[in-house]
Amino acid sequence: MVSIFYRKDDRILISTTVDDFAKLRLADVLWIDLLSPSGDEKRATEAFLGTVIQSRAQAEEIESSSRFSESGSSIYANTNFLMPGPEEYTMEAVSFTITGNTLTSLRDVPLRSFTELQRRMEINPKLYKGGYSIFATILEQRIDLDADMIELMSKDISQFSKRINQQEDINEEFLLDINHQQENAMIIRENIVDKQRLVTSILRSDKHPVELDGRFNVLLQDISSLINHANFSFERLEYLQETVVGLINLEQNKIMKVFTVISVLLMPPTLITSFYGMNVTLPFAGLRWAWLLIIMVMVLVFAAILIIFSKRRLL
């Protein structure tokens, strides 16, 4: 699917067919959005731009040299957009090409940032003068969404903290939930750092309009704040993890302590019983009520040890 945004008079119009390239000038086209395009759509766009659009494999490259590059007339920028899911986050690669003042985006999935921007362009076309301003707006909206995800994560962490304070369901499953959130925090931080590297590369390029330096610098400041917040969230999760491990260990120590105390308390009665189980003559052995006296001695010894343990706060 292709969406071509071009300026006509004071309006921004949209075309959804590559046949209209023959009627348009490159200078009038602001943005070409390719969503899972066919081979014909991709080749027609490349012919119109006079440059090659990077493939998805190139967009997913990790090396910094592949994330941002320049040619004589174009800028190629690749980044990942984070997609929140019910269980975990996924990253979708998006490739941008800026030729002259025309932005081309290549993606495989619908993205909220793009849909929202297309709606805004129809409402207020004067704000979008070219591909670089559209590209800056996409990044701004993406950073806002990343900030929302970090805020939601902070709320989840606060709920974890409340559960620990109230000692609700402090077990191995809860520990796994914290570990899962740690994984999400690392993914979010990695995604934000990727945006930081991309914006820094744009600022170093001499092809971008100087009047957009202010917006890109503000983006860098916002990204730095999000990185600090993500780091804080991860450190907080580590603290909660250590707290949960400590509480689990304390609970296990209490259980072992109970078994140990019970074993110690039963040792003297067991010793007395062992003596009277031997085939030798012992005190009270010939009395009719000897079993009752022996039980009383066992109870007294048990009570004495219990009192001693209680006074020494061993129970």
Instruction: Tell me, yes or no, whether 181 and 231 share the same domain.
Output: yes
For 218, phi then psi, to 5°, come to -65, -40
Q: Is 214 helix (H, G, I), strand (E, B) or coil?
A: helix
Instruction: Tell me, yes or no, whether 199 and 269 share the same domain.
Output: no
Instruction: Tell me, yes or no, whether 292 and 229 share the same domain.
Output: no
Instruction: Tell me, yes or no, whether 243 and 258 share the same domain.
Output: no
Rg (CA), the chain: 35
Instruction: Tell me, yes or no, whether 18 and 153 share the same domain.
Output: yes
Query: d(Cα 210, Cα 257) in Å, to the nearest integer?
Result: 71
Instruction: Write the DSSP string, 23-89.
Output: G--GGGEEEEEEES--HHHHHHHHHHHTSPPPPHHHHT--SHHHHEEE-SSEEEEEEEEEEE-SS-E
User: Which of 207, 225, 248 represents a domain boundary (last residue)?
Assistant: 248
Instruction: Tell me, yes or no, whether 256 and 235 share the same domain.
Output: no
Query: Is the separation of the CB atoms in 194 and 227 below 8 Å?
Result: no
Instruction: Tell me, yes or no, whether 128 and 224 share the same domain.
Output: yes
Instruction: Tell me, yes or no, whether 223 and 114 share the same domain.
Output: yes
Strand duo 29-35 + 102-107: pairing: parallel
Domain CATH number, residue 274: 1.20.58
Instruction: Tell me, yes or no, whether 141 and 209 share the same domain.
Output: yes
Query: d(Cα 93, Cα 226) in Å, to the nearest integer?
Result: 21
Instruction: Tell me, yes or no, whether 239 and 177 share the same domain.
Output: yes
Query: Is the separation of the CB atoms in 71 and 49 below 8 Å?
Result: no
Domain CATH number, residue 136: 3.30.460.20
Q: Which residues form the domain of 37?
A: 2-248
Could you list the pLDDT tens digit for every one of the 315 residues in the chain?
Answer: 888 888 887 787 888 787 777 888 888 888 888 888 888 888 888 888 888 777 666 555 555 455 777 777 788 888 888 887 766 777 888 888 888 888 888 888 888 878 888 888 877 877 778 888 888 888 888 888 888 888 888 888 888 888 777 776 777 777 788 788 888 888 888 888 888 888 888 888 887 788 888 888 998 898 888 888 888 888 888 888 888 787 778 777 878 877 777 777 777 777 777 766 666 566 666 666 666 777 777 778 778 877 777 777 666
pTM score: 0.74
